[in-house]
Structure formats: structure tokens, C-alpha cells
Structure 1
């Protein structure tokens, strides 16, 4: 039997959703606006029962429009409070289409899911953010059964509106046999799905498929269809995948006494000369700085964003509602909210001459805005002899990748290097990506590793940026082999103690810190340093997987 194509599965998902919209929750359509998405929406609307409400969620919808509230016009006209229905109530037992679902905030998503449980509508999340860091809130996606493949337009609907109506009438009497439930649960566990809603949605999809087939209980084909459409897009592992082989143990670490000095090159037998290495490309997680800023600032600020800490303002930014207060010192009055606060009291208040509405001081509402503070990424690069000997070129490549991310996010960038006896500021905070790359390209490597001095310079720059109203983010790339203390004396123990002391200051002042371990083998001290700074540690990856695969293929071909 020929397996169904993605076009046929997309059409089947629309039919099942039309049978049980509220129970299946809806679907996420991850595609750009185009004929594929429009045809799927048209197909669904054509097989829904006549009179089904299909509403569209406006971008940035206010809570009163979403949940309902006071009808200001009718209230002022009648002199008594008149309530109006919100968008969620108007979508009851219908379909709510949500454009740009990847931009929905978590509070809005919470209101949508709570409204779905109360009013029973299906949600269609139009996810137009095809990047990895852009997606609707996970709590919303967890409640949507289907994610059809819209790489090409869906096929024709295998069931018409009459068959859908008959299946909807038959659905309440469809049973849920225990073997089907056990099979769906076992498949979800084997696929690595941890959500309990996913198998529940798959069971409802199997019941809807049975109702479409005129059966009183789902059979094996119905369960297979439900698993393919609901659990397939959520699978994190392949059930048939063989167990992974254990990695070989790492080679024994050299004794401390037998290690070459960090500032010397064993191949030359003497002091390592200053060398300038070109940046080498290395892989790093996508949107690393954005995810770090969001994770760290969420704990230290009222809220956080992609380009810096968010703060509430009364003068500029994105509107986020209103609060009680008087329009003074530049605050803007929220006229409609003020009228809504005054309207219910009009019968109890004598209206002034030539006035339609009596407004008192306690009725005033002022606008609130949310604005982002500008971010500054401070790169602290280890250019000591050990770093130059091992992975200075790859560290430069990592910084260049992060610089490109900073440019895309419109962040300011500062570069500090440390080697020899002290740290040096190569570039004061700037928006110029060209200047940052030029300063990095000419950075030589060699000498001792004064890690504490580098962190001291980063702390001083972070304090200045924070005082200027910007959000500093410190990214230190080091192999973790500090051997120069603050006072200029050599010795690993004193150098590491000084670095940990600066890390504690960074944590106490609430700075966001990322420690990137550039050593050939991960160093425990880098993890300890990140923990003391209250930040995150990241091991600089080795060569790309495709490079290694190419080398293997080349070796096989040569053999």
C-alpha cells in the first residue's frame, strides 16, 4: 500500500479538525503567506458547517477587545454600564485565526488557551517566523493537534461538508478502546514525547477518524493516522533508532608538573613569539547572545527582550495599557480609559454646566509604555601564549560570528584583550562592525594569561555602560589557564583566586556573563568561573560535523 503523501495528510488533518474543532484544539501553519497556506485555510472553511464563526485576531489586540468589557458609547448614551462581548466569546464553537503567531506574548497566549477551554473554539496559529528563535509560545503549541506540511499546496478534501456534518453527529458515541489508548501512549513514549496532551490529542484524532469512517470505535488504521498526524511532528527520537555507542574515555590528563609552561611553545623550546592568526570559522549555537540576555535579564529585571532589558516608561515605547494617575511630568492621559472609569458613576454625579461627562481626579488614567534599553556586548579575548598555541584562531572566528549577531541586533560592541602583564582595551563600545573586526584581526598572541586583569577591565566598562542606561553583556573567551595575578606575580593558584574574586563582583552587580572555554579539552576552572559570576559556561565546539564527515569519506575513498 502506497503511503499517503504530505499533500494528502494535510487535507486529512483539515477534515479531522472540522469534525472536532474544540477537542483537537487547532493547527499551527508554519509557512510564509502564499498559495499553500491560503489553500489549506480555504479547504478547511469549505468543509466546516454553515454558519461556523471564523474570526481573525488583530495584532496587538487589547484585553478589553479580547475578553470583553464596558461598551463606552452605549454606557455614555444610556447613563448605565453596558457590557460588550469580546473576541473570544464571539468565536465560540468556531475558528480563531491568529496571524503572526510567533509574536504572541505569553500573557496573550494564556488568555487564548483559557478562552478555548471555556468557549470551545479552534485556533489556527499562522507561524510566519521560520527562524529557530521565532515560534509561538510553547504552551499554545502544546494545545494544537496538527502541524501540516505545507511545502506544497494540500490535496483535495477526501470528505465533503455532508460527511463532516454526519461525523460530527456521530462523534459523541464513538468509544475509546483500551488497546488503542495503550498503543498511542506507547508510541508517544517511544518517540520521546513528554507532554501528556499530545497522546490525548492523538486519541481524539483517532476518534474523529473513526467517526468519519462510520465506525463506533477507532481501529488500527485510525490510530495509525492519528499517530502520524499528531505525534509525528512532535517526535524527538526515532523509535527504531539503535542505542548510541558509549564514547571512549578521554585520555589521561598530563600531570601538573609535566605540563609545558602556558607562555612557552614546546616545539621551539623557548619563549613563544608574538603571532597573529587569522580568524577560523567555528560553529556556535544560533542566537547565542539573544538567548543568554533573555535568560539572564529575566531574573534581574522586570522583563527582558531581544535587545536589552525592558523597562516601563510613561513617555515613549510600546503601549502596554494604562494605570491610575494624573497626567503630570510628561505622562500622557489615556482618554478612553479615563472615560471608561468615569462612565459607571454618571448617575451619582451631578454633571457640570455644558458637560456631558463628570470626570473626577480618581478617574484619570495615564498611558504606560515599555521600552528596550540598548545593549553593549563586551568581548574579553584571551591572547596569551597558551591560547595562541591552541585555539586563538578559532576564538577569533567565534567572536566574529557573535559580532555579526550584535550588528543584526543593533548592539554596541567593545573588545578587550589580555596577555602578558595586563589587559588592553582594543575598542571602546561602538556600533561599527568594521572597526571591531579590524581591531580583532590585528590582535597578536603570546605571553602570560592575566585573566583577572581582563575581567577587571570588562567590569569597569560594564559599569560605565550601565551608568549610561545601557545593558552590558560580558563574553569572555579563555582557555581557563590563568597564570598571572593582579599584582604581576606569576602562579596559577593566585591568578585563579584573583579571577574568582572579580567574578563574584560581576555577580554581585548583576551583570550578564558568558564564559566560552577555548581549551582543547574542557577545563573545570571555566565552569567554576562562570558559576561564581552567576553566568553561563559554553565549550567552544571543535570542527564542524560536515568537515569531519568529509574527512571520513575522503579516507574511505582513498582506501
Structure 2
């Protein structure tokens, strides 16, 4: 086992022990790891340290509200003729842990319900003629099994989970033996009784809050979770007060994975002027050596511990995704979610009649009718069996993800052709290969001379793309306004069909051909800015890639006018352009 893998597994095992002390107080663990022996081993470590009798439940993918929250026991209600409630999975897991596989795929509504249960420690059920409140003090283990540019776990849910552990690069051989210093089940049980009495000085709380600010962590929940982890770490060590090593442990496991920026280096203070040495300085040399240097402030110690534990490459990736998320508004990994008739994933039910293309949900229809059976019999309904009326009908709703079409609008004028035309061709081919896997499409239009031309209509055909790009000419004037108008028209048409367009504009921003095809730099730049105005506030996501040899102010101004993401890539390669576009999709998927 290499040192890095050993350290990561040790931290993951320690996190399991800390989480087992008080699952509900820590919210949970976001475990980035696919199904396999490593995840199973981590779950074994956790299960062995949970309190005796604590439930450990698995939440199935696609679970409905009636099973998750609780609701009407349909069979018992039909037998008794009155509403009979049943507990849901959250109530069944009260006092224990809920395992959520494929957490990145749960709908936003399910994530919101889980978050509410974590916040309140209870589930309120008010549906189908019943109104009950059930205890649900649970901890959640959310398994992120996504790969590549898959959608991330809901930010609403991830914010409430204390730990974020990545076990993706740890092999089975690395977890054969328990790490040294891992608390035993007995030690965890003793800490479970001790930790509510553990206190923390104001200095520790202030230092954790200051470390969050320095690392760019905006959530107020994070320092609270870090404080609870520090208290439990102190309890595991047999202490009643949080010490600096407990706070550093919490910073390493709670704050570091959430960092969005590197802490600023401390400002150097000028050294104080030293007085002239006294005559007896040689005699006091031993006394001076005994004076120890003052310890670094607690805030700096905690910050240093968190900064040292930030995963390699995390900050660069987060920076790109945050910039991308700010520019994209509704783009997803594979497009926007839209409601469909009979195809796609179930997205709840609605009341309504059975019309063409609709599908009756028999179970939900019976559930809606069950509370009214006694009343309908008193009203004279003598039909045998369950009395169902049209107002009881429930129709299943479905949702689909639309395709994403990436539109490359390429400045093929003389000012750009010399520098970036070859890179743009390579980027389109790379992106097309990725889009083929996701069933997305790519379109290419070029503008040069007096206007714009659609070279490649939306397609997933790699052969057509290469053939179209091979003949892309370069040279001539820059009709930037015409290129923007053509990209807008194509994107609008794609959006009207129900797909999701993303426009990637590759240009240096130096327009010299107006909308009328006449060469006039001043009027051409005014036309380009006017054409860019319609993008602001629209639902169309766009990226402006500055292809100049050095960042061009006019390209930046164009991006600002469009409210688009600006990427200055003076030394871009084809792979770099492809990565930038993928970052936009990833950042938008988390919104």
C-alpha cells in the first residue's frame, strides 16, 4: 500500500468510527465510491461500531413518497374501512443509518425530503386523510457512483453531510487490515456516552469559522458540523474538552474536501527593533535558549491542517466549474428535464381523467379512494368492492431529459484563421466523441467574409463532422454580428424542438463587417454588441472562447454583454477547449 492510499483509508476508517458515535448529529457521509469490496469493507467497519440494535436500512432507487415518508396502509385501510397509517423507511431507520446507493441519480424532490428529515429529526405525514409525525433521527450514507461528467449529488443534500470521502483509488488489497489506532466498538460506545458532555472554548469555535471563511466555504452548517466532529474526536480520546488536535482532525476531514480557494498567506509583520545587547549577554545565552518560540495561533494551525489535506487538483476543478455554473443557466449533463406523456422515468402522479396518452396509476387511484369508502356507503353507494369515482383517478407523470446540442460558432476570418482554426476543428471532433456516448449532438457554423454559414447541422455522426470540418476555409473579414444572429437562430430552433442548446463562440471579438455586409469597424462593433444583447437574460447558455494571442478586451466585453462565460485561451489546445465545454455542462448540472 502506498503512503497516500494508506492515509486516505485511515482517514476513511476514522470517519466511520466518528460517524458511528452519533450518526444523526453529523448528518451523514458522502461516499464517492462504486459498489465493490472497498465500499463493503467500509460499511462493515461502520456497522460493527453502531449502537446495539441500531437499524441499518438500504434505500432503493426510485422509492416513492409513501414508502419513504409513510402514509396510508392500503390493505389495512380497505379491510377496516378507515384510514390506517404505516411507517416509512425514514421512520424505520430511526436511531440508525440509511444507506443511499446511486445518490447522484435521486430526484430533487427526494433529496429535499431527505434534507428535511435530517434537519428536523422527524417526518411529518399529511396525506391520504392522515396526519402524523414520526421520529426519524437518522444518519445518511450517500454513495456517489457517478463517473466522468455525471451529475453530482444534490448540493442541498451534500451540504448536510459532515464527511466527504473518496475511496475511488483505494484497492481491495489496501483494506485487508484495519488501520492502526482505529477505535474499537467498545471505545465508540464509551465515546457515545461521553460526547454530549464535551465542551469547546470560544477560541476553537472562532478558529473553525475563520478557517471556513479562509477556504471559501460559505455554508454556516459546515463549522457546526466540524465542531461536532471535534467534540466526538475528543470523546474518543477520553477528553471532556476539545483540544487543538481534535479541531485539526475536524478541519482535515470536514473542511478540506469543501475548500473552494486556497487560504491567503499571512501578512508578514516587520520584526521589532531589538535593543542593543547588554554587557552580560553572554551570561544570559542559556536563559534565551530556554525561552520557547510562541505557538502559532489556533486559527493558523487549523487552517494549515485543512490546507494540507485538500485533494490534489480539487481547487482547479472547482474554480472552472463555478465559473461555468455562473454562465450556464439551465443546461444539464444531457439536457433539461421535461415532462413527457408515457415515456421516461416516473415523476409522481396528478389528478385527472384518462385522456389519450395518459396512463392510469391504479395503486394511487385506490389510495385516493380508500379514505372515502365509509362516507360513500352512508351516502347510499351500494356497489360491491371499492367505490371509485372519476375524481379519484390518478395519472402517472413521466419526465425525460432532452438532448443537448453544442453549437460551435467559429470565427473563420483572417484574424482568427491563422491562430485557432485548427484547434477549433480538433475540439469539435473531441467533443463529438463525448457527445456520442451521451447521445448528444454537435453543430458547426462559421462566419467570415460577408456572412455566416451552417457547415454542420445538428448531428452525432463522426464521419459527417470530420468531412465538414476538413473543408472549413479561413480568411476574410469578421462579420461577428452575422455569426451571433445565426447562432441565436439555430439555438432558438433547437430549443423550440425541446432540446437544450449550448453555444460555444470562438472569436477574438474584433468585428469589422456590419450586418449589412459593409466593412466599417465602428459600425460592425456596434452591431455585434447589439446582437449580443438578446442573449442577456435568455435561457440560452453560451461560452465565449477568446482565441487571440493574448486576452482581448473586446472579446471580454462581448462575453459580458451576452452574460456568457469568458474563457481566454491564448495558448489553447484542442483538448483544452473540449475540457472547458465539459466544465460548463458539469457546472450547470449541479444547479
Whether 1:441 aligns to 2:465 is no
Gaps of 5+ in 1: 245-283, 299-303, 548-559
Map Cα deviations across residues 240-298 of structure 1 (whole Å, 9 max, x no partner).
85789xxxxxxxxxxxxxxxxxxxxxxxxxxxxxxxxxxxxxxx989x99997996453
Whether 1:227 aligns to 2:251 is yes
Between the aligned partners of 1:530 and 1:212, the Cα distance in structure 2 is 54
Map Cα deviations across residues 309-364 of structure 1 (whole Å, 9 max, x no partner).
33222332221011110001221111111111110000011386663111111111
Partner SS for 1:52: coil
Residue 172 (structure 1) aligns with? 196
Alpha-carbon contact 1:530-1:537 (below 8 Å) kept: yes
Between the aligned partners of 2:82 and 2:145, the Cα distance in structure 1 is 44
1:41 deviates by: 0.6
Whether 1:158 aligns to 2:182 is yes
**Mean Cα deviation higher: 174-183 or 136-145:** 174-183
Between the aligned partners of 1:523 and 1:220, the Cα distance in structure 2 is 49
Alpha-carbon contact 1:7-1:155 (below 8 Å) kept: no
Partner SS for 1:444: coil
Alpha-carbon contact 1:15-1:44 (below 8 Å) kept: yes
Residue 105 (structure 1) aligns with? 107
Partner SS for 2:367: helix
2:555 to 526, 547, 550: 526
2:84 to 77, 82, 85: 82
Between the aligned partners of 2:19 and 2:537, the Cα distance in structure 1 is 53
Between the aligned partners of 1:373 and 1:531, the Cα distance in structure 2 is 28
1:534 deviates by: 4.9
**Mean Cα deviation higher: 526-535 or 5-14:** 526-535
2:416 to 370, 374, 387: 387
Whether 1:193 aligns to 2:217 is yes
Partner SS for 1:126: strand
Map Cα deviations across residues 88-110 of structure 1 (whole Å, 9 max, x no partner).
11111100111111223333222
Whether 1:38 aligns to 2:40 is yes
Q: 1:237 to 1:479 in 2, by over 3 A?
A: closer
Whether 1:335 aligns to 2:335 is no
Residue 135 (structure 1) aligns with? 152
Whether 1:71 aligns to 2:98 is no
Q: 1:466 to 1:145 in 2, by over 3 A?
A: closer
Q: 1:338 to 1:541 in 2, by over 3 A?
A: farther
Residue 257 (structure 1) aligns with? none
Alpha-carbon contact 1:293-1:473 (below 8 Å) kept: no
Whether 1:369 aligns to 2:398 is yes
1:43 deviates by: 0.9
Residue 210 (structure 1) aligns with? 234
1:315 to 336, 342, 361: 342
1:453 to 460, 472, 482: 482
Gaps of 5+ in 2: 122-135, 269-315, 577-591
Between the aligned partners of 2:217 and 2:538, the Cα distance in structure 1 is 40
**Mean Cα deviation higher: 532-541 or 106-115:** 532-541
Alpha-carbon contact 2:327-2:541 (below 8 Å) kept: no
1:17 deviates by: 1.3
Q: 1:398 to 1:97 in 2, by over 3 A?
A: same
Map Cα deviations across residues 50-69 of structure 1 (whole Å, 9 max, x no partner).
21010111111111211111
After TM superposition, the structure 1 = structure 2 runs for residues 289-300 of structure 1, keeping only pairs within 5 Å, are 296=328, 298=330
Map Cα deviations across residues 121-177 of structure 1 (whole Å, 9 max, x no partner).
111111122436542122322222223453232725733322222221222222223
1:371 deviates by: 1.8
2:456 to 422, 427, 432: 427
Residue 121 (structure 1) aligns with? 138
After TM superposition, the structure 1 = structure 2 runs for residues 266-285 of structure 1, keeping only pairs within 5 Å, are none
1:348 to 375, 378, 381: 375
1:14 deviates by: 1.7
Between the aligned partners of 1:323 and 1:103, the Cα distance in structure 2 is 23
Alpha-carbon contact 2:513-2:519 (below 8 Å) kept: yes
Q: 1:463 to 1:289 in 2, by over 3 A?
A: farther
Partner SS for 1:224: helix
Partner SS for 2:163: coil
Whether 1:10 aligns to 2:12 is yes
Alpha-carbon contact 1:210-1:216 (below 8 Å) kept: yes
Q: 1:132 to 1:218 in 2, by over 3 A?
A: farther
Q: 1:292 to 1:198 in 2, by over 3 A?
A: closer
**Mean Cα deviation higher: 114-123 or 359-368:** 114-123
User: TM-score, normalising length from structure 1?
Assistant: 0.80
Map Cα deviations across residues 481-524 of structure 1 (whole Å, 9 max, x no partner).
11112323111122223333433455687544333221223333
Partner SS for 1:312: strand
Q: 1:136 to 1:440 in 2, by over 3 A?
A: same
**Mean Cα deviation higher: 31-40 or 494-503:** 494-503
1:324 to 334, 346, 351: 351
Q: 1:507 to 1:135 in 2, by over 3 A?
A: closer
Partner SS for 2:38: helix
1:527 deviates by: 3.7
**Mean Cα deviation higher: 379-388 or 191-200:** 191-200
